[in-house]
C-alpha cells in the first residue's frame, strides 16, 4: 500500500467533527476520506487522551500537535527517498539554525552553500514531520517561491504547504513570478492548479514595482580628500 502523507487540515477537520459528536461514517462523508483513515485519526486522538464527551468540538493547538506527532510516528522506518535522507543527514545543522531563529528559507540557502540541494518545500515537510516545527505557527513566510522548476516530489510538498494552511493559518509568499506563472514550475499541472486556486482565492496581491532596493545599498566611493 502506498504511503499517504498525513495533513494537518484533514486531521483537524476530522477531530473537530468527532469532538462535536459526529459519527465516523458521517465524518468520512463530509471530509471526503476513507472510513479507515478517519478511524486511524480518531484512534490516535484517543491514545492522546481526547474524548468527545463535553469537549464541544474544541481542539487546542497542543492537542493537535500531539495527535499529528503520533500519526507521523507511525511512518517511522518507511523509505522517504533521497531528498529526505539529505535532510536527515543535516538534522543537527537544520535544528541548530532553526533554534537560533534563522528563517527556513535562509537554512535552505545555507544548505546549498554546503553542497546540499534540498528544495524549500521538502525542507518544510521535514521540519514539520521530524522536528515538529511550523505545525501551528501563526504566520508562515515562503521566500523566493517558484524560481526553479520542481520535480514530482517537490511539487507534492509545495501542494501540501499551500493546501494545509488554506483558511486555517496565514502564509506570505514572495516571488519574482506572478501566481499564474507558478503553474509551469510544478511537475503536476492538476496539483498545481488546485494549490494555486486555493491560495489566490483567499489572498491579497501586493506587487512592488520600480528600482530594486538593493541599488540603494550599493557602497559609494568617498570623495573626501580628493
Task: Return the pLDDT at 4.
Answer: 42
pTM passes above 0.75: no
Question: Running along the chain, 226 residues long, what does each successive block of 10 average in pLDDT?
Answer: 53 88 88 85 87 70 78 56 84 87 86 88 79 67 86 81 75 89 89 87 85 76 65
Cα separation of 124 and 133, whole Å? 9
Q: Where in the chain is the domain with CATH 1.10.10?
A: 1-78
CATH of domain 1-78: 1.10.10
Task: Return the pLDDT at 224.
Answer: 66
Cβ–Cβ < 8 Å for 24, 42: yes
Nearest to 182 by CA among 156, 145, 140: 145
Cα separation of 193 and 186, whole Å? 9
Q: Which three cell numbers stand for residue 186?
A: 510544478
Task: Return the pLDDT at 1.
Answer: 29
3-state secondary structure the chain: CCCCCCCHHHHHHHHHHHHCCCCHHHHHHHHCCCHHHHHHHHHHHHHCCCCCCCCCCCCCHHHHHHHHHHHHHCCCCCCCCHHHHHHHHCHHHHHHHHHCCCCHHHHHHHHHHCCCCCCHHHHHHHHHHHHCCCCCCCEEEECCCCCCCCCHHHHHHHHHHHHHCCCCCEEEECCCCCHHHHHHHCCCHHHHHHHHHHHHCCCCCCCCCCCCHHHHHCCCCCCCCC
Nearest to 125 by CA among 150, 100, 101: 150
33-91: per-residue pLDDT in tens?
Answer: 888 889 989 988 888 888 886 555 678 877 887 787 777 665 444 456 788 888 888 98
Task: Return the pLDDT at 16.
Answer: 87
Q: What is the dihedral of CA 125, 126, 132, 133, to 10 degrees?
A: -70
Strand partners, 140: 171
Cα separation of 47 and 36, whole Å? 16
Cα separation of 114 and 209, whole Å? 34
Nearest to 21 by CA among 58, 49, 62, 61: 58
Strand partners, 172: 141
Amino acid at each position: 500500500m502506498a504511503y499517504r502523507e498525513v495533513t494537518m487540515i484533514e486531521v483537524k477537520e476530522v477531530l473537530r467533527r468527532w469532538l462535536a459528536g459526529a459519527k465516523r461514517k458521517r465524518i468520512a462523508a463530509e471530509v471526503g476520506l476513507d472510513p479507515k483513515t478517519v478511524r486511524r485519526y480518531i484512534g490516535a486522538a484517543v491514545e492522546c487522551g481526547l474524548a468527545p464527551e463535553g469537549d464541544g468540538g474544541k481542539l487546542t493547538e497542543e492537542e493537535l500537535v500531539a495527535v499529528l506527532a503520533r500519526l507521523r510516528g507511525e511512518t517511522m522506518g518507511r523509505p522517504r527517498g533521497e531528498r529526505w535522507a539529505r535532510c536527515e543527514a543535516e538534522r543537527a545543522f537544520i535544528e541548530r539554525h532553526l533554534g537560533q531563529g534563522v528563517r527556513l528559507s535562509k537554512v535552505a540557502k545555507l544548505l546549498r552553500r554546503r553542497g546540499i540541494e534540498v528544495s524549500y518545500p521538502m525542507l518544510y515537510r521535514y521540519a514539520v514531520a521530524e522536528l515538529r516545527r511550523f505545525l501551528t505557527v501563526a504566520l508562515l513566510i515562503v521566500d523566493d517561491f517558484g524560481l526553479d522548476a520542481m520535480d514530482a516530489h517537490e511539487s507534492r510538498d509545495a501542494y501540501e504547504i499551500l493546501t494545509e494552511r488554506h483558511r486555517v493559518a496565514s502564509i506570505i509568499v514572495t516571488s519574482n513570478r506572478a501566481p499564474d506563472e507558478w503553474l509551469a514550475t510544478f511537475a503536476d499541472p492538476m496539483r498545481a492548479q488546485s494549490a494555486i486556486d486555493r491560495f489566490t482565492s483567499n489572498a491579497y496581491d501586493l506587487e512592488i514595482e520600480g528600482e530594486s532596493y538593493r541599488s540603494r545599498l550599493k557602497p559609494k566611493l568617498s570623495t573626501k580628500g580628493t
